[in-house]
Amino acid sequence: MSDTRILAADGTPLKKKLAQSMFRTKLRAFGLVCPLLALIISAFVLPILFMLSAAVYDDSYSSLMPESTTAMQEWDGESPITEAMAAAMVSDLIRARENKDIGKVANRVNREYSGATSLFKSTSRSAKKFEPPYLEALLAKDKDWNDKELWQGIKIASNTYTLGYIANAIDMRAKATGGFEPQDELRQIHITLFIRTIEISFIVTVACLLLGYPVAYLMANLPLRTSNLLLILVLMPFWTSLLVRTTAWIAMLQGQGVMNDLFVAFGVANDEDRFSLIYNKTGTLIAMTHIMLPFMIMPLYSVMKTISPAYVRAAKSMGATNWTAFWKVYFPQSVPGIGAGSLLVFILAIGYYITPALVGGQDGQMISNIIDFHMRKSLNWNLAAALGFVLLVFVLFFFWIYDRVVGIDNMKLG
Amino acid sequence: MAKSLPFVRYDNVQKSYDGESLVVKNLNLDIEKGEFVTMLGPSGSGKTTCLMMLAGFETATHGDILLDGKPINNIPPHRRGIGMVFQNYALFPHMTVNENLAFPLKVRKMDKAETEAKVKRALEMVQMEAFGDRKPAQLSGGQQQRIALARALVFEPELVLMDEPLGALDKQLREHMQYEIKHIHESLGVTVVYVTHDQSEALTMSNRIAVFNDGVVQQLADPVTLYERPDNAFVAQFIGENNTLVGKVTSTKAGKVDVDLGKHGHVEAVKVVEVAKGGQTTLSIRPERVAFEAKAPKGKMSLPAKVLEMIYLGDHIRCRMSVAGNDEFIAKIPNSNKTITLAPGKDGFVSWNIDDCRALDYS
């Protein structure tokens, strides 16, 4: 092969010569994107990787309770609790209390075994006075130390690398003996939320498409002046804060709000039982559809603008009715815009957070609201990370489906 | 009733887009069955609007368009049964060539076997049998043009409209396609209405040409008449090359006028439009009808001339000279064996037959 390579005039291989001559151009291009690249890596890629790692990495027990961790790893999770395990536990509890780390440890175990917080704290207070045998001392302090489920919880908490959080995110939990089992029925909330999130995102996407397509079509086929005016109207919501728009919907949709007053005035609803349009799923759907609409219209419009009116005319000249000309000729050419708009809206909607939080009430909450809850209220960042990871997997899955059905090359944003 | 009427008739058709100015002013035009009629004119002259009104994509503001004796103003485009070739072909990009050609047959609910046979025949007609499975984007401009032509003809319309279909092709291909369209027209006998701004295209293909300017048909005639006997200064200027001289009419007699060119003398010319004695007129002389000689020949019109520039063009020499105050007077001198000793700065006479000089309106 090498002897058939084309050489430049000075004898160097042409490929090498080309690379040399392009080097400055490439360097310049790299220089131009460098600041943004640095920002993205430091403010986007690294935090995300760090956050995702929290979904499977948790050393809050193993780093603070080293002796107990070793003992727990040796235990099979089934056989009776040994004196060695108890001794390691007491020694670690004393140290954790001295270092003021006992709260963290207690919290970690409490996620696996309810009631562990107070048990750990109270035990650690008297641990210094314990005499061997430590197992009996523990039992004397609190009968709960006899509960095998507690020790199993401790064993799970002692794993530094764990799939437990991801399992929690899909309503499963790790077993101390290895493997996974379904979460307690009362604590199974995530799957429902994921399904609701996908359902809401899907409905919002379809609603945006149905509402946005005619508008985009009109804009693409009107004279430039009129279509520019329409474009400004479509983009107008972006000039107002998202918070203001969402709050405006509250004023519109609430029980004594504008919409309900109108319904009552026109006799659609009785004054006594007005429609509940907000603080539920309906509210989330209405407000999110409104907020996402421009993201659907813009890609549709930019694709439709490139479809020459000559195509529809040609179809009509060949005998196609208005509908046939639209459905067989115009619509297929607008599919790239539909694809781009739908994907954009769906992916934005699936992670949407502010609007459901403000107008969603109880049954209009989405998975991101739960992630927020774990980030800010329960401070279970590991579970938040695991939920985020599962959400990311969903998004990638839908992206893959989209690629299979429509084809990602078929997407056009302008 | 229908028999006495032509196939297509524009009857006092007017079109306005803004309600302030007319794009088409009072158009009357008859097209016979089987004719190849070209609407020729500069851009903005209203020719495309006329075609779009016939196709049904624009509605006439006033007047009737009759197709086969029936007014079609209220018939939607898809029921007119008119084939159309568009400027940029308008081949459906998401369909293969075969699907494109089958489209007009499918919307007519033709059965599959017949559709296939017709598509095949149409592709044969334009010699594109091998390209049926390709997408339009995989074809060259000329190939796309042929497919667009085949698609407009595949459902056997009696009338085919073409809106500058060759505009996007290079010169050589354009000329080739002109002959091809002409031959297809002759072999199928369909009526063709063709819009172009290219006069040589119009002259090559048409039975008759309607020259448009400013929303008015300036002249409707066969190519020979149009070139040899233009009715007015615009047509003379627009079709082919043309030398113009401006003068005053001094006397008229039996189809001829005497025109005074001031200090440059006076000439006799064919009277085309009625100009009152003393009125101004534009004289039109084709460059190839002009000879340059050292002495004024007898029995011909002649004027003194001075050679300004010579351009060698192979088959002929373009000679620009100053005649009667016009520095852009062109003579096309055939490149023959006779050694013509012409050079810039040389004085002599340009001469022509009286019949070759036409006195037109002053514009």
Domain residue ranges of chain B, discontinuous segments joined by +: 8-233, 241-360
Phi and psi at residue B19, in whole multiples of 5°? Answer: 75, 5
Cβ count within 10 A of residue A398: 17
Token representation of residue B270: 């064919």
For B219-263, the pLDDT digits (tens) are: 999 999 999 888 888 999 898 888 989 888 888 887 888 888 888
Give me the residue from A319, A320, A333 closest to B93, CB to CB.
Answer: A333
Query: Per CB distance under 8 Å, which residues of A are interface residues toward B?
Result: 308, 310-311, 313-322, 324-325, 328-329, 332-333
Domain coordinates in residue numbering, chain A? 2-41, 66-187, 190-410
Is the CB of B56 less than 8 angstroms away from the CB of A316?
Answer: yes
For A57-98, the pLDDT digits (tens) are: 999 899 999 999 999 888 888 888 888 899 999 999 999 999
How far is B24 from B42, CA to CA, in rounded Å? 14
Give me the residue from B86, B155, B161 closest to A319, CB to CB.
Answer: B155
> With 0-12 CB in 10 A as exposed, 13-18 as middle and 19+ as buried, what is A124?
buried
Q: Class for domain B8-233, per CATH? A: alpha beta
Nearest CA in chain B to A334: B94
Task: Tell me the shortest Cα–Cα distance from B154 to chain A, in angstroms.
Answer: 9
B53 pLDDT above the threshold of 80: yes
pTM attached to this predicted model: 0.81
Give me the residue from A316, A324, A333 closest to B77, CB to CB.
Answer: A316
B76: nearest Cα among A38, A316, A300: A316
**Residue that the structure tokens 């499918």 belong to:** B106
Is the CB of A318 less than 8 angstroms away from the CB of B81?
Answer: no
Nearest CA in chain B to A309: B90
CB contacts, 8 Å: B18 with chain A = none
CB contacts, 8 Å: A320 with chain B = 78, 103-104, 107
For residues B167 and B136, the answer to whether their CB atoms sit within 8 Å is no
B3 pLDDT above the threshold of 80: no
B215: nearest Cα among B55, B9, B60: B60
For residues A294 and A234, the answer to whether their CB atoms sit within 8 Å is yes
Interface mutation vs chain A, best among B57, B105, B115, most A CBs within 10 Å? B57
CB contacts, 8 Å: A321 with chain B = 78, 107
Which of A127-136, A366-375, A401-410 tops mean pLDDT?
A366-375
Mean pLDDT of A339-355: 91
CB contacts, 8 Å: A314 with chain B = 84, 86, 90, 92
For residues A153 and A107, the answer to whether their CB atoms sit within 8 Å is no
Mean pLDDT of B97-102: 95
Mean pLDDT of B4-32: 90
Q: Class for domain B241-360, per CATH? A: mainly beta
Instruction: Categorize the per-residue pLDDT at A1 as very low, low, confident or very high, splitting at 50, 70 and 90.
Output: very low
According to the model, what pLDDT value does residue A13 have? 82
The CATH T-level fold of domain A190-410 is MetI-like fold (1.10.3720)
Dihedral of CA B36/B41/B42/B47: which sign? negative
CB contacts, 8 Å: B115 with chain A = none
B1 pLDDT above the threshold of 50: no
Is the CB of A308 less than 8 angstroms away from the CB of B78?
Answer: no
A414 pLDDT above the threshold of 60: no
- The length of chain A, given as a count of residues: 414
Query: Amino acid identity of A366?
Result: M
How far is B194 from A147, CA to CA, in rounded Å? 95
Q: Which of A184-198, A205-219, A395-409, B69-83 has the lowest mean pLDDT?
A: A395-409
Give me the residue from B83, B88, B94 closest to A317, CB to CB.
Answer: B83
Phi-psi region of A231 (alpha: psi -120 to 50; beta: other; left: phi over 0): alpha
CB contacts, 8 Å: B107 with chain A = 318-321, 324
For B319-353, the pLDDT digits (tens) are: 899 998 888 999 988 887 665 667 788 888 888 99
SS3 assignment for chain A: CHHHCCECCCCCEHHHHHHHHHHHHHHHHHHHHHHHHHHHHHHHHHHHHHHHHHCCECCCCCCCCHHHHHHHHHCCCCCCCCHHHHHHHHHHHHHHHHCCCHHHHHHHHHCCCCCHHHHHHHHHHHHHHCCCCHHHHHHHHCHHHHCHHHHHHHHHHCCCECCHHHHHHCCEEECCCCCEEECCHHHCCHHHHHHHHHHHHHHHHHHHHHHHHHHHHHHHHCCHHHHHHHHHHHHHHHHCCHHHHHHHHHHHHCCCCHHHHHHHHCCCCCCCCCCCCCCCHHHHHHHHHHHHHHHHHHHHHHHHCCCCHHHHHHHHHCCCCHHHHHHHHHHHHHHHHHHHHHHHHHHHHHCCCHHHHHHCCCCCCCHHHHHHHHHHCCCCHHHHHHHHHHHHHHHHHHHHHHHHHCCHHHCCCC
Is the CB of A319 less than 8 angstroms away from the CB of B107?
Answer: yes
CB contacts, 8 Å: B108 with chain A = 319
Instruction: Categorize the per-residue pLDDT at A208 as very low, low, confident or very high, splitting at 50, 70 and 90.
Output: very high
According to the model, what pLDDT value does residue A413 have? 60
Is the CB of A308 less than 8 angstroms away from the CB of B90?
Answer: yes
According to the model, what pLDDT value does residue A291 have? 92
Instruction: Categorize the per-residue pLDDT at A411 as very low, low, confident or very high, splitting at 50, 70 and 90.
Output: low
Q: What sections of chain B are H helices per DSSP?
A: 47-55, 97-106, 112-125, 141-153, 171-188, 199-205, 223-228, 233-238
Give me the residue from B56, B88, B161 closest to A308, CB to CB.
Answer: B88
CB contacts, 8 Å: B81 with chain A = 319
Task: Tell me the shortest Cα–Cα distance from A331 to chain B, in angstroms.
Answer: 10
Give me the residue from A314, A322, A328 closest to B84, CB to CB.
Answer: A314
Instruction: Categorize the per-residue pLDDT at B2 as very low, low, confident or very high, splitting at 50, 70 and 90.
Output: very low
Cβ count within 10 A of residue B298: 7
CB contacts, 8 Å: B161 with chain A = 317
What are the strands, taking DSSP E only, across chain B?
8-16, 22-31, 36-40, 62-67, 70-71, 82-85, 159-163, 191-196, 208-213, 216-221, 243-253, 256-260, 266-271, 280-285, 291-293, 301-312, 316-323, 326-334, 347-352, 357-360
Work out the percent of chain B whose per-residue pLDDT is above 90. Answer: 50
For A221-277, the pLDDT digits (tens) are: 998 899 999 999 988 888 888 889 888 999 999 888 899 999 999 988 888 888 888
**Dihedral angle of Cα A368, A369, A372, A374, to the nearest 10 degrees:** -100
How far is A235 from A232, CA to CA, in rounded Å? 5
